[in-house]
Amino acid sequence: MADDAFTPDWLALRERVDHRSRPTALLRPLRAAWHAREWSRVLDLGSGTGSNLRYLASRLPGRQEWTLVDHDPDLLDRVHGPDPVPSDPGSSDAAGSALPVHRVVGDLAEEGLARVGEAHLVTASALLDLVTREWLTALVERCQEAKCGALLALSYDGTIVWSPPEDPDDAWVQEMVNAHQRREKGLGPALGPTAPHLAEALFQEQDFHTWLVPSPWHLGPGDLALARALVEGWIHAVAEQAPSGASRVQGWGERRLQALARGDVGLTVGHLDLLALPADPGAG
């Protein structure tokens, strides 16, 4: 979650947990719209190495063509195809066939927005907390013009809950992390945890039907590497946000890392998934 956290290793570490955390409840209305409107073209913004492609492609019916936009060419070079979900009755044969995937090295504000008009479904995962109100407003306007759907998954919602025992500095760390989330992340002052609710409101203003559903990470003993990386990222973020609290957060981090190593604690990190579909069933 720190600025420099988008390494291939970090994205690989979170992918398994991301996929198991995504709510299947959104798939039914998405598949229905996809089928009824004969959609096929997906635009994945801030795609990284393609985790969202690997989750979603095999869960959508029929023919698909994906465009992945990211400003990091190294991440795009590592994109690989979707995993089949053979037991899923809604899955397509897209996973087993040659799925066209176009990789675009570009910025969200330029190439990203410019491609919305060609898409039937715009999607992003683990992205919204980084963007600005201006960018999000522009995205929703482009979606309205294109009459395309949007699936914005795994947006951090500001919630960090440790299962017992509590540490006296948990609340302070959460507050500092959430303040750090609102800092500049490349596009301007970031929306951080306010993004998913604002996105829903903006889509509703444009008469989209919306579904906003929790997609929390529940981290247990099997997720130690991810939990460790999170704590280390939070130590870094809090030290940046509150330099006078650097030793305090270091102490908190040591206690939390020890508790994680002992298997003493559980950790829940709140996320939200938003599906927004254009109201006119004949559109698109």
Ligand X SMILES: C[S@@+](CC[C@H](N)C(=O)[O-])C[C@H]1O[C@@H](n2cnc3c(N)ncnc32)[C@H](O)[C@@H]1O
**Where on the chain is the footprint of ligand X (CB under 6 A)?**
6, 11, 46-48, 51-52, 70-72, 75, 107-108, 125-127, 130, 186-187
Q: Which helix (H) or strand (E) holds 20?
A: helix 8-21
Cβ at position 4, least distance to ligand X in Å: 11
Name residue, tokens 């060609």.
118
Amino acid letter, 64:
Q
Concatenated DSSP letters of 166-222:
P-TTHHHHHHHHHHHHTSB-SSSB--GGGHHHHHHHHHHHTT-EEEEEE--EEE-GG
* The two structure tokens encoding residue 96: 């087993």
Q: Which is nearer to ligand X, 52 or 215 (CB)?
A: 52
Q: Which is nearer to ligand X, 153 or 265 (CB)?
A: 153
Q: Which of 191, 171, 173 is nearest to 182 (CA)?
A: 191
Q: Which is nearer to ligand X, 158 or 284 (CB)?
A: 158
* Torsion sign (Cα): 14, 226, 178, 108: negative
Helix (H, G, I), strand (E, B) or coil at 129: helix
Alpha helices in 95-149 (DSSP H): 113-114, 133-146
Q: Which is nearer to ligand X, 37 or 180 (CB)?
A: 180
Q: Which is nearer to ligand X, 130 or 195 (CB)?
A: 130
Cβ at position 163, least distance to ligand X in Å: 25
